[in-house]
Amino acid sequence: MLFSKYYNRLITANYQSANNEIDIALSHINKLEVGVSYPFLLELFNDLDNNILTELELKQCLDLIQNYVIRRQICSMKSSQLNKIFINIGKEIKSSKYFQNNYVSLFGNVLTSKANNFPDNKEIKQALETKSIYGMRKHKQYLLYMLENFDNNERVDVFNLISENRLNIEHIMPQILTKEWKNSLGTTFPEIHSKYLHVLGNLTLTGYNSKLSNKSFVEKQTMENGFKDSRLYLNKYLAEVSKWGEEEIKERHKMLVERFCKIFKYPPKLTFDLASENIYSLADDIDFTSTKIIKFDFLNQSFQVSNWSEFAIEVCKLLYDLDPTVLIKLSQDSVYKFILSTNVSRHRRSSKIAENIYLENHNDVATKLKNLKKIIAHFDLQLTDIEFYVIKSKAK
């Protein structure tokens, strides 16, 4: 019964619920047709009821889902992969023992992992240079709706206005060029038309009859319900310029891409500062740059260390004591030659682990931890079997 209540809220959410940000976010997810996210959404609502999440954190998670899905669509990534991603994501978040204090940050961290392909701003800007927004079926309405209503106190109901034919999705430079349009674009009009016709910078919402879409730019500006009459954000720039050509398309495109990145934000990297405790394990995918390790626990024993290099050496020595044959084999394996070696001179800075076994220790913290994880994978151990205590490094 409880989950049926959650499900009913998902499918009945309305973006017109002015004072309910969670319902608005849910309706946006429905507009994106991400049904494969429902199992995870049900889990989120259950976590809310169990006080694992606050309403604010739930809203932030819903926003992250939107951001993730629309960015992948812009970059033409396969939607078939989403089912596998969303069905496991709750488990991945809760695999960290700090998830209750860092749920949203961990969610963003999981989504931005290499396996899950969350396009960053550089990838988005590159994709939008050529992306046919007009060819995005229903999702172009969602995108224009979000661009229009960002930071807008008076929400414009783009979906209903389009369904009632009171608004149209319009090509500013039209799909069929008249002689007047060709002249205004100049001698390179075929290239300009081919390159920019369907991109974000050349699309808007208009209230005039779509049959008039081939009119000149000045006519589109000054006609009844034209750009100069419009109160829409998307038409603000169009009301101000005197002509419409390649430079104007590029300038407006740049403005809208920047707005896109502000709306559909890329999650910040999970760092030490975001975590609420100073005890971690090798399973935690966190940036430990600018931290100092003071001790670690290995199989219920504690060891004092003064830096990350000493930590890496001591862990490898303990692993050797646990099963020397594993480290002997790895040090003789060419695949691991940049981590372990039998030759003291092979590495830039070799640290002795045992007789004829040396560890490369001339690397940063992230590389040290990555190398330890590779070594531990050959033992009957979990990454959570090694915990360490860190403090912030003092600024030099």
Band of residue 276 on the pLDDT scale cut at 50, 70, 90: very low
Helix, strand or coil, per DSSP, at residue 45? helix
Task: Give pLDDT, residue 290.
Answer: 83
Pick from 368, 363, 278: nearest CA to 314: 368
Q: For 244-256, what is the mean pLDDT?
A: 97
pLDDT at 215 over 60: yes
Q: For residues 159 and 22, give the distance between their C-alpha atoms in angstroms, rounded to a whole number.
A: 19
Q: For residues 90 and 96, give the distance between their C-alpha atoms in angstroms, rounded to a whole number.
A: 11
Domain 273-392: give its CATH architecture: Up-down Bundle (1.20)
Distances 281 to 288, 296, 385 between C-alpha atoms, Å: 12, 9, 7
pLDDT at 394 over 70: no
Q: For 267-292, what is the mean pLDDT?
A: 73
Average pLDDT over the chain, rounded to an integer? 89
Helix, strand or coil, per DSSP, at residue 173? coil
pLDDT per position as a tens digit, 11-27: 888 887 666 889 999 99
- Name residue 304's beta-bridge partners: 295
Q: For 376-394, what is the mean pLDDT?
A: 86
Pick from 37, 47, 30: nearest CA to 86: 37
Pick from 51, 82, 88: nearest CA to 68: 82
- Name residue 170's beta-bridge partners: 204
List the Cα angle 16/18/24 in 5-degree steps.
60
Task: Give pLDDT, residue 274.
Answer: 39
Instruction: Determine which of 25-29, 159-163, 327-331, 340-344 has the lowest per-residue pLDDT on average.
Output: 340-344
Most confident region among 19-28, 55-64, 95-104, 114-123 by mean pLDDT: 55-64
- The one-letter code for the residue type at 229 is D
pLDDT per position as a tens digit, 291-336: 888 888 888 788 888 899 999 999 999 999 999 999 999 999 989 8
Q: Where in the chain is the domain with CATH 1.20.1380?
A: 273-392
